[in-house]
Every structure is written in structure tokens, then in C-alpha cells.
Amino acid sequence: MAMTNKSRSKQPRTQKSDSWKPHDGLFRFTVEQFSKLDELGFFEDRHVELIRGVIFEMTVNTPHATATRLGNDVFRPIFGRGWVVSDSLPLDTGRRSLLQPDFTVVAGSSRDFDKVHPTTAALVVEISDSTLRKDRTIKAHLYAQAGLPDYWIINLADRQLEVHRNPGPDPSRRGRFRYAEVTIVAESGRMAPLAAPQSEIAVADLLP
């Protein structure tokens, strides 16, 4: 039976769900959509990552590139068989984010990730100069939310290492995550990864 205007007016009004639509007016990609664009060659040789559905292009200056080479020299000998040390490769933290940390250390072998990206890491490292604020806030939130236990920021501007540990919800900000322990290690200091506690690293060896 057809519904009359009168009977229709008595029905509770419902609105279509706009949960997909971000409040900031940006279209946000899923990890699957982002990966498809990459497969199609959309990004060409650009260095990009997906952060909360938004695609960011990353640039690498000379100090950053040097710090990457130094990091490879330091981290790869420490983590031998049974670990995968990667630089600038995807880490799937979920929630529309496919990040590309400067270094990840993941348990397993390279063949474990021939079809999927790692979703966790024993150690994640960002080399920061112009991205310092983002790495301390947005990236720290996402890594803590994913439960990554050991997050290092190689701070090129202040020539120090910032070690973030003990991830969990931020009690002062609903829906946010943080690292409860943040340790600043000076250029003259040393620090060992949680996954290799016997292998102390001189901070100076990570800085160009």
C-alpha cells in the first residue's frame, strides 16, 4: 500500500550515515585504495605515505639521507637472523594509515611479508628535521595506538635521540594515545633497543 504524505510525516526521520565523510572536508583513502593507486603507478617515483587517510609526499634532504645510511650501518649488524631491518618501507598500522618509517625492525624473515605489509614492529625509528612536530605528535599517537613498544626519533635539529616507550591511551585526551615514557638521550649518550638490550648504540653514530 502506498504511503500517504500524512502517514509519512509520522515516521521518524533518519539521516543517511555520513560516517565516511571527514569533518575537515578531505576525501580520505583506505589502505586498499592507496595500495591500488601505487600498483597503477600513480605515484611514480614519489616517496609517499598514508596518514589517517591523507596522502603525504615526503622529501629527503642531504642530512636525512646521511642519517639513513648511518642507521643502516648501526641497526643491521645488531639485528641478525630472525629479524628484518627495513628502511622507508610500509608499516600497516590500520585505521587508514600505511606509514613509511625511516626504520622498522620486525621479527621474522623477509619472505613473511611477500603478500602483506608488517603490522607491528619491535623498533620503529623516524629521522626528524622539518617533520619533528609531526613525528612527536601524529606519528607518536599512531605508533602508540598500534601498540609499538619502542619508538625512536633521531632529532637532527637538536642532535639528540628521543626514545618513546610504554604506549597506551592518553588519560588527559579521550581517544588519543601516547607514550608514557619519553627519554631524551644527548649526542654523547647511549641507548639500547628493547629488542636488543645488550646492544647499546652511541647516539653520535646515528647523527650526520
196 occurs within a structural domain? yes
Instruction: Share the mean pLDDT of the chain.
Output: 84
156 occurs within a structural domain? yes
Tens of pLDDT, residues 150-172: 999 999 999 999 999 999 999 99
At residue 16, the pLDDT reads 41
> What is the domain range of residue 116?
60-206
At residue 35, the pLDDT reads 67
At residue 24, the pLDDT reads 60
* Integer Cα distance of 157 and 4 in angstroms: 69
- Amino acid, single-letter form, for residue 8: R
- Rounded to whole angstroms, what are the CA distances from 102 to 14, 29, 42, 49, 157? 46, 22, 22, 11, 16
142 occurs within a structural domain? yes
201 occurs within a structural domain? yes
Taking the CB of residue 192, how many other CB atoms lie within 10 A of it? 14
What predicted TM-score, i.e. pTM, was given to this entire model? 0.77
Please state whether beta strands 123-128 and 150-155 pair in parallel, antiparallel, or not at all (unpaired). parallel
Q: Determine what percent of the chain is predicted with pLDDT higher than 90.
A: 56
Tens of pLDDT, residues 32-71: 776 666 677 776 777 777 777 777 777 778 999 999 999 9
Domains: count for the chain: 1
53 occurs within a structural domain? no
* Integer Cα distance of 190 and 192 in angstroms: 7
Indicate which CATH number applies to the domain containing 120: 3.90.1570.10
